[in-house]
Each structure stands twice: as structure tokens, then as C-alpha cells.
């Protein structure tokens, strides 16, 4: 492929990029809040489009070559993966069962909140609290487990290779779709939700982007806005199908589904428990989805 | 207005150099500015060009904080050097590669390239909106393409020479 052809391919790919509807709605909400709270806009001086072609004023963006950035992402994931794996082994239940190869190391990420965060990934210190194993969760009425097997088996089967998000999508009530289905390609999201205004721009890494998505999903889940939570989880599933937080994503999806539709929830919960038997979320899922 | 132009601002914030994780913030800031200054918009320029100009200003402001980000990124990169092959067939990666390259372009060339190649504006439109002569727009566009092609060639060479 010639450089010209490759450039055309890159241009074509970039043209196809677009934010999702969920993203836009969240941004709109945020803007309304800011305007309501009279948050001042960034002072950017006079805006004259005809100056676009003239002086630049500010120096060029100091950007590392893209190869270095991708390398960086891999480096971060590899580094944190090792840490997470370590934490995971410490956080397993008393059974002492070793982390199975089938269980991603990410299943233990919740525990990172309890250990010193790696300096390279400060956001890990604020990992979603809900990901803590067996944290207090509303217990689902025991009646759920008495649902007939026919109802459960009518739900789509789950394949180990298939992201749980897809299965949950299929199992959801149609009413959920109208508000939460992201469009074609999803944008990345800002990191460090909790960082005070004016702080340095957050790093752009796969780990951080994943973490932000999971945090957002968790925040929406905690607020009871399951449709928005599932929107973020779907975005994660699309962008990071086998990401570091895949197990957390699937766990949150299961909890959210159990709350919205206990019957469908039990089917996906069963699949989750088979796939991640050692997950720190397993007990909570069993409880919330009516298995206990 | 937000709903109509959100995608425009969002994608161009990325193209102008806002890191992926800061695109939401940049978009948010742009619309905050728009909300405060809408009465300043006199219709002399196309609304989208005005939005584009605000987006560029906002991204520049974000860049001032960029040093921390790049320094940390470099530290990550030093942790483990792994050579990744780009796959232009993979759209998301390809789009990201292009945005990274745009970040290495001269800002004036980058602006013209984005408006022309990515937003589909004609030379005449860009010249009118930016107050440039059409010939200047064309020459910046040619220079941008040439520079981008050179980057592609250089990266390919680097990959080849780094290969075992």
C-alpha cells in the first residue's frame, strides 16, 4: 500500500468517527448543570474565525509519535495487570482456590481501592467502590428464584467468547433500548471525573479510559439509572471487549439486569458465575439475583 | 444548537489535538463559551466556522496543561517498550493514528486539512471563512498532505528498521 493510499484509508476512518447519542445526552446534561450553577466558561480571549488561518499564538502541541502512545498503553496495562493479578490472589475467598486461567486478572481490580495505587495509574485509587467484593447490596426478594425454568431458558444462551453485554442486550426489555443504545463508534471519555477543575489533562491510556467508563457506569447504576449505566457498559464492551475491566463490566451488567428484569437477570447471572466463579462480585450477584 | 453541533465540536476537538480522555471536557468548554457568547456571534462567519474557532481556542488552552500529560506518558512508555504494528484496516486504530499525526502538523496546515479533507468544505468556503486567498488554502492543503505522507513513510521505515 502506498503512503497516499494509506493516508486515504486513515482519512476515511477518521471521517467515520462520531460521538454516541448517550454521550451527547450526558454532555447536554452536564452543560445544563454548569449553566444552571453559573459555572464560568474558560477564558479563551476573542474568537475570530478569520484568525484561524493567521497567527497561532500558542506553540504546537507536543505530541509523542503514535507508536509511543500505543506502546505506553500496553506498558500501563501490562504493569497494572501484574499488580492487579497480585491483588487478586490476595482477595480471593478463603477457599484458597487459585485464580483460574479462565478468570481474567481484572476480576480482582476492585481490590485496588484497598491498596496503594501505582504511581503510573493514579486513577486506580478511585476505582468504583461498588466493585468491592460483596459490598452491601439490596437483596432481591427471594421470590425471584421461584421463577419458572421456562422463563429463564427462554433467554438467549451465553457463549464464553461472547461479551456478556451482547447477551444482556438481547435479554433486556425493549423499553431499555430507546434511551441507551450507543451508536456506531463510541468516543473515548474523560478520565478523572473527580479531579478538580484546572488540573492537568488526564493521560490517555486504555486503562484510564476503561476505568472511566466503568466508574461512570457504576455511578449511574448507583443512582438507579440502569439504562444509562448499560449505555456506558455497552460502550466498554464495544471498545474493550476483552479489556482489563471486562469482568467488572459483566458483573455490573448482571446486577443491573437483575434489578431491571429479575428473570433475564438470573439467566445472565448464571452465565457470569460459570465464567467467573472466583469473581469478587460472585457472592453479591448470587444474593442480588436471587440465588441465595 | 447543542444537539445539532455536538458531533461537529466533539470530532474536531479530537482532530485539533484534544487527547481522547479530554474530548468531553473540551466539548463541554466549547458549549459553555458558546452559551456565554452567543450574542457576540454576528453571523459574519458560518456558525460552524465560529464553533471551529472556539474549539481551537479551547483545545489550545488544554494544550497548556499538556506537558504533564506527555511527561507521564513518556514515563509509561519507558516502563515497557513493545512494538505494535498499526493496522490501517482497523478503523478505530486508523482514525487514532491520523489524529496523532494531525497533532504533529503545523496548526495552520492542520486547520485547513481538517476543514477540507475531514469536514468536506471547499477551497472557496475555507478561504472565505478563514480570510485567506484560495491559493493559500490549496498550498496549505498540499503541504499538509505531503507532510502526512512523509510521516507515514517515516513510521514505516522506523518499524522496518526496528524489526528483528
- The CATH code of the domain that includes B97 is 1.10.10.10
B72 shares its domain with B130: no
B137 shares its domain with B66: no
B56 shares its domain with B96: no
A136-143: long-range pairs with CB below 8 Å, 24+: A137/A255, A137/A284, A137/A287, A137/A288, A138/A288, A139/A287, A139/A288, A140/A258, A140/A259, A140/A262, A140/A287, A140/A288, A140/A289, A140/A290, A141/A290, A142/A290, A143/A290
Candidates A41, A205, A236: best to mutate against B (most CBs of B within 10 A) is A41
Q: Decide if pLDDT at B36 tops 50.
A: yes
Q: How many CB atoms lie within 10 A of CB A247?
A: 27
Give pTM, 2 decimals: 0.44
Taking the CA of residue B154 and the nearest CA in chain A, the distance in Å comes to 10
**CATH number, domain containing residue B26:** 1.10.1740.10
ipTM surpassing 0.85? no
**Which residues of chain A does B56 touch, with a Cβ-Cβ cutoff of 8 Å?**
52
Q: What's the whole-number mean pLDDT along residues A60-69? A: 36
**Which residues of chain B does A201 touch, with a Cβ-Cβ cutoff of 8 Å?**
19, 21-22, 62, 65-66, 68-69
B1 shares its domain with B81: yes
B52 shares its domain with B29: yes
Q: First CA to last CA across chain A, in angstroms?
A: 59
Using CB atoms and an 8 Å cut-off, which of residues 121-160 of chain B contact chain A?
129-132, 136-137, 145, 148-150, 152-153, 155-156, 158-159
* Residue B35 lies in domain: 1-85
- Mean per-residue pLDDT of chain A: 58
Q: Decide if pLDDT at A188 tops 50.
A: no
Burial class (CB in 10 A: 0-12, 13-18, 19+), A62: middle
CA neighbor of A22 nearest in space, from A174, A183, A137: A183
Domain boundary pick from B38, B68, B85: B85
**Which residues of chain B does A207 touch, with a Cβ-Cβ cutoff of 8 Å?**
none
**Which residues of chain A does B97 touch, with a Cβ-Cβ cutoff of 8 Å?**
10, 66
User: Does A239 sit within 8 Å of B92, measured CB to CB?
Assistant: yes
User: Is the distance from CB of A166 to CB of A253 less than 8 angstroms?
Assistant: no
B4 shares its domain with B75: yes
Taking the CA of residue B80 and the nearest CA in chain A, the distance in Å comes to 5
Q: Decide if pLDDT at A60 tops 90.
A: no
Using CB atoms and an 8 Å cut-off, which of residues 92-121 of chain B contact chain A?
92, 94-101, 103-104, 106-108, 111-112, 117-118
Domain boundary pick from B85, B103, B130: B85
* Rounded distance between C-alpha atoms, residue A215 and residue A249, angstroms: 10
A-to-B residue pairs, Cβ atoms closer than 8 angstroms: 272
Q: Decide if pLDDT at B18 tops 50.
A: yes
B124 shares its domain with B50: no
**Which residues of chain A does B79 touch, with a Cβ-Cβ cutoff of 8 Å?**
75-76, 78-79, 120
Closest residue, chain A, to B109 (C-alpha): A53
**Which residues of chain B does A24 touch, with a Cβ-Cβ cutoff of 8 Å?**
2-3, 6-7
Q: What's the whole-number mean pLDDT along residues A87-112? A: 35
User: Does B84 sit within 8 Å of A74, measured CB to CB?
Assistant: yes
Candidates A28, A182, A189, A190: best to mutate against B (most CBs of B within 10 A) is A190
B64 in A contact zone (CB under 8 Å)? yes
Alpha-helical runs (H) found in chain B:
2-15, 23-37, 47-63, 66-79, 91-104, 107-113, 123-130, 134-162
pLDDT tens, residue by residue, B97-129: 888 889 888 889 999 999 999 999 999 999 988
**Which residues of chain A does B96 touch, with a Cβ-Cβ cutoff of 8 Å?**
66
Domain boundary pick from B39, B62, B85: B85
B71 shares its domain with B105: no
B102 shares its domain with B72: no
Counting the structural domains of chain B, the total is: 2
Q: What one-character-per-residue DSSP string does A185-233 give?
A: SPPP--S-TTSPTTPPPPP--HHHHHHHHHHHHHHHHHTT-HHHHHHHH
Per the document, the length of chain A is 292
B101 shares its domain with B27: no
Look at the alpha carbons of A264, A258, A21, B61 in this order and tell me if their dihedral is positive or negative: negative
pLDDT tens, residue by residue, A2-58: 888 889 988 988 898 888 887 788 888 888 888 877 766 666 566 666 666 554 433
Find the range with the poorest average confidence among A169-178, A233-242, B96-105: A169-178
B102 shares its domain with B137: yes
Q: How confident is the model at residue B70 (pLDDT cuts 50, 70, 90)?
A: low
B80 shares its domain with B94: no
Query: Percent of chain B, pLDDT > 90?
Result: 36
Taking the CA of residue B26 and the nearest CA in chain A, the distance in Å comes to 9
Amino acid at each position: 500500500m502506498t503512503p497516499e493510499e494509506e493516508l486515504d484509508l486513515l482519512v476515511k476512518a477518521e471521517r467515520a468517527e462520531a460521538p454516541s447519542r448517550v454521550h451527547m445526552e450526558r454532555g447536554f446534561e452536564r452543560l445544563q448543570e454548569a449553566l444552571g450553577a453559573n459555572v464560568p466558561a474558560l477564558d479563551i480571549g476573542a474568537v475570530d474565525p478569520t484568525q484561524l488561518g493567521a497567527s497561532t499564538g500558542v506553540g504546537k502541541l507536543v505530541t509523542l509519535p503514535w507508536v509511543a502512545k500505543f506502546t505506553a498503553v500496553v506498558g500501563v496495562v501490562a504493569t497494572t495487570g501484574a499488580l492487579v493479578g497480585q491483588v487478586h490472589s490476595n482477595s480471593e475467598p478463603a477457599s484458597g482456590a487459585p485464580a483460574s486461567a479462565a478468570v481474567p486478572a481484572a476480576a480482582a481490580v476492585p481490590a485496588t481501592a484497598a491498596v496503594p495505587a501505582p504511581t503510573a495509574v493514579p486513577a486506580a485509587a478511585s476505582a468504583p467502590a461498588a466493585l468491592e467484593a460483596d459490598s452491601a447490596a439490596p437483596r432481591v426478594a427471594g421470590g425471584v428464584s421461584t421463577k419458572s425454568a421456562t422463563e429463564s431458558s427462554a433467554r438467549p444462551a451465553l457463549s464464553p467468547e461472547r461479551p456478556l453485554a451482547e447477551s444482556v442486550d438481547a435479554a433486556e426489555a425493549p423499553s431499555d433500548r430507546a434511551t441507551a443504545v450507543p451508536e456506531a463508534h463510541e468516543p473515548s471519555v474523560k478520565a478523572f471525573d473527580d479531579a478538580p477543575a484546572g488540573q492537568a489533562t488526564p493521560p490517555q491510556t486504555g486503562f484510564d479510559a476503561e476505568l472511566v467508563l466503568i466508574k461512570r457506569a457504576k455511578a449511574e447504576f448507583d443512582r438507579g439509572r440502569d439504562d444509562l449505566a448499560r449505555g456506558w457498559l455497552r460502550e466498554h464492551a464495544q471498545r474493550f471487549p476483552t479489556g482489563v475491566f471486562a469482568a467488572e463490566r459483566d458483573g455490573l451488567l448482571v446486577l443491573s439486569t437483575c434489578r431491571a428484569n429479575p428473570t433475564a437477570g438470573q439467566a445472565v447471572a448464571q452465565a457470569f458465575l460459570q465464567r467467573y466463579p472466583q469473581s469478587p462480585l460472585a457472592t453479591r450477584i448470587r444474593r442480588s439475583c436471587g440465588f441465595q | 444548537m447543542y444537539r445539532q453541533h455536538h458531533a461537529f465540536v466533539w470530532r474536531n476537538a479530537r482532530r485539533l489535538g484534544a487527547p481522547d480522555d479530554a474530548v468531553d471536557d473540551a466539548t463541554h468548554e466549547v458549549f459553555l463559551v458558546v452559551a456565554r457568547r452567543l450574542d457576540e456571534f454576528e453571523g459574519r462567519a458560518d456558525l460552524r466556522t465560529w464553533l471551529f474557532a472556539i474549539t481551537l481556542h479551547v483545545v489550545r488552552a488544554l494544550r497548556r496543561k499538556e506537558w504533564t500529560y506527555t511527561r507521564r506518558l513518556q514515563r509509561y512508555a519507558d516502563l515497557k517498550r513493545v512494538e505494535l504494528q498499526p493496522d490501517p484496516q482497523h478503523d478505530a486504530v486508523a482514525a487514532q493514528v491520523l489524529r496523532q499525526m494531525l497533532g504533529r502538523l503545523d496548526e495552520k496546515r492542520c486547520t485547513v486539512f481538517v476543514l477540507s479533507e475531514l469536514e468536506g468544505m471547499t477551497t472557496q468556503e475555507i478561504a472565505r471563512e478563514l480570510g485567506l486567498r484560495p491559493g493559500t488554502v490549496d498550498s496549505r492543503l498540499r503541504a499538509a498532505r505531503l507532510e502526512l505522507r512523509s510521516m507515514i513513510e517515516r513510521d514505516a521505515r522506523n518499524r522496518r528498521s526496528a524489526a528483528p
